[in-house]
Chain A
């Protein structure tokens, strides 16, 4: 099966000359459908940089980045929004919800970006929020939701475009243990049942067992971790299903 994400020899250098920061050095990485890839590493090691390159919001300095087989290094910048729109769902540590919009409207924004009509967007947004267990919170603004609920709204929003790739940067860092578990449940179900690739940057040792694979980054270099990660299909979880 074709990999969803394929990085070959990717480097990223911020700035030039004396102030140049080599955030990524010669990175190879392949992520397939159904995988939950965890990325760990110390602060400043290049995790967010790598995730941004995979998500087509940051361009690599050199190397090849393929999303669903399509090379994105060197293509016109104006084509990137559409690639993100149809392939990528982002989840952020700080949720990044639109505070002025209700949970429902937050998800609708993503759907209207996809070109859905207002009524179709509303219907689909309701379904997505039901899937993440927020049927009774649709009319709430982000300020009136708990951290875990906000992150589930963000997940529903990330899923709006039905992307094959979900990229999450520290999705549970701002959550208590129980909310974190629920969010990870939701994400792992997406990979397991829907054949998506989920890449999660995390420091959170409580969620490590959700991964199917784990890589470690230090100083811009990637290292595959052979151990410490259980196969997700070995554990049975209660929780929401997508």
Chain B
């Protein structure tokens, strides 16, 4: 590092503050917009991502996980006969009416899973237990939605589709993208809540034997059971995410927000770095007159950009972490996964270096009139 790069940056504290403010706000904008977008993606498909499923069997034409249709559960036996299949569990995910103690209704999504196998079950249990779902008419809800559902917590009873339901467990952070919260229960209970016939299911969840090629297994299942659709977990996730992303206004808005946040962020950083460089243009001209090579001047400019980027990034990351933290209990999730934090660092570096490279041309073509001006 050259002395000049450091000293130029730190000599004028006001200038430095302006530069850093520009970079920090641009990065926070990107963090929030992208975090919302990632939160959106995560929220729309969290039940799929966390399901532990290898392959999903659905009725033909099911577009995504929240759009299931019932089909005969006896297909399960055909699936179990396919080489490479370890387990097949029934799974329900269906909208139902939740009656609040006040008498009004809320829509919920009943999620019925196999208590023995556990695929598609809840995570982040903070009170009660999954085992408690073995009792009749028992459910687990997320504490984010207690108020919306008009209940206080464990032990409260309400009605789902005119059937009693008692809360025996609470989770934390299982958000629903729709306005209908997830309500976990055993598959057996869910048949009652969703008015499913005794011999029907909404999904069959397949766990493959270790080391089995899932693409091959998918083809084999499809061949063995022609009247179901088969999806890998990844396919189900991306179908669900694209559905909510592209068919709802909210999804497109979030995506646009992320793209615009990125563009605005880049422009703000570019502008900030550019003006910081141009401020020192006379000094760079003087250096050239003194016999400095262009490479020396590039180095100073890029070092200044790197220092600014690193400082701006560190501040923005701290702020972003607090934003993400406080969103955990809010309405919209803002995610800041480590990959994004790392990516953001390189983005900040790239933006700062690009912006300084743009200003480099200005700095290295010296105009004698400029260095000689009084």
Contacts and interface: CB of A to CB of B under 8 A. Distances in A.
B partners with A: yes
Contact of A93 (B7, B293, B372): B372
B368 A58 contact: yes
Interface string B282-312: 1101111111111010000000000000000
Contacts of A6: none
Contacts of A161: 290-291
B372 A85 contact: no
Interface in A78-105: 78, 81-86, 88, 90, 92-94, 96, 98-101, 105
Nearest to A100: B11
A180 interface: no
Q: Name which of A78, A84, A94, A96 has the most chain B CB atoms within 10 A of its CB.
A: A96
Nearest to A55: B289
Nearest to A163: B291
Contacts, number: 88
A52 interface: yes
B340 interface: no
B4 A81 contact: no
B290 A52 contact: no
A39 interface: no
Question: Which range holds the interface residue count of chain A?
Answer: 35 or more
Interface in B195-251: none
Contacts of B374: 92-94, 170, 173-174
Contacts of B290: 84-85, 90, 109-110, 113, 157, 161
A55 B368 CA distance: 10
Interface in A150-180: 157, 161, 169-170, 173-174
Q: Name which of B8, B287, B368 has the most chain A CB atoms within 10 A of its CB.
A: B368
B366 interface: yes
B373 interface: yes
Nearest to A52: B368
A177 B14 CA distance: 35
B318 interface: no
Given A93-B373, A113-B296, 9 more contacts: A52-B368, A57-B289, A83-B291, A92-B372, A94-B374, A96-B371, A100-B7, A108-B3, A169-B372
